[in-house]
Amino acid sequence: MTRRIDPEPVVIFMAFMGTIGAMVGAVNYVKTHYKPLPSQVREKLVRSLRELDDHIKHLRADLANIEEIFLNARFPRDRTIRLGNGAYLTPIEFARYEKVSDKIFCRIREVQKLSLKIEREATKLDALNMAPTTNVLGQVYERQTKLMEARNLTLEEAWGELHGIAQGLECAIEELEKQLKPVSSARANVEQPLSGRPPV
């Protein structure tokens, strides 16, 4: 009989929650505060948001891999996310889980650093009167909050909610990039002299 190893899905679930939570917090923060920011700061934020967008795309792929690993796994009790409820994985499945989970935990560190950088840039000018941070992401923010408070989630429910939040977050990041870009583009057009005419 093949010996099986039993990692607890709750650990990787919390890692996903932490990573996505950092992203949701940073994007919501910028979306609340970006309007009074000058072009230079906006440009830096756009670059950072592109990095964040890349992270969320990779995270969605990692989530799909984790979901597949646990898809047919057996559990000692039910398939809920909680401490002590480890999944029985074959050595091959466990090796794959080990590799994917390592990438996810490395990504937490990168996302946290980037999220703090984004928040720092958004509040860089002391003269700005910053409004209190509020929920401006709508359903993405609300789903993340509800998921943090949820109890007795099955694996399928947990992965489904994470997929939904990640997808909504990706759309929010791309939309925020568009909102920040026009000022940068307009500034570039103003500064660029017309063909054949010297700058004033």
pLDDT (tens digit per residue) in 137-160: 677 878 888 888 888 889 999 999
Residue 164 vs residue 123, higher pLDDT: 164
User: Strand, coil or helix: what is 154?
Assistant: strand
Percent of the chain's residues with pLDDT above 90:
27
This prediction has a pTM of 0.75
**For residue 8, what are its two tokens?**
């607890």
Instruction: Provide CB contacts within 8 A for 173, sequence distance 6+.
Output: 23, 27, 49, 52, 53, 56
Q: Please tell me the predicted confidence (pLDDT) of residue 98.
A: 93
pLDDT surpassing 80 at residue 49 = yes
Q: Determine what percent of the chain is predicted with pLDDT higher than 70.
A: 78
pLDDT value at position 28?
Answer: 80
Query: Predicted confidence band at 187 (pLDDT cuts at 50, 70, 90)?
Result: very low
Q: What is the CA radius of gyration of the chain?
A: 21
Nearest by Cα to 121 from 28, 22, 24, 43: 43
| Overall average pLDDT of the 173-191 stretch | 62
CA distance 81 to 128: 44
pLDDT score of 197:
47
Q: What is the mean pLDDT of the chain?
A: 79
Span of 26-35, 114-123, 149-158 with lowest mean pLDDT: 26-35
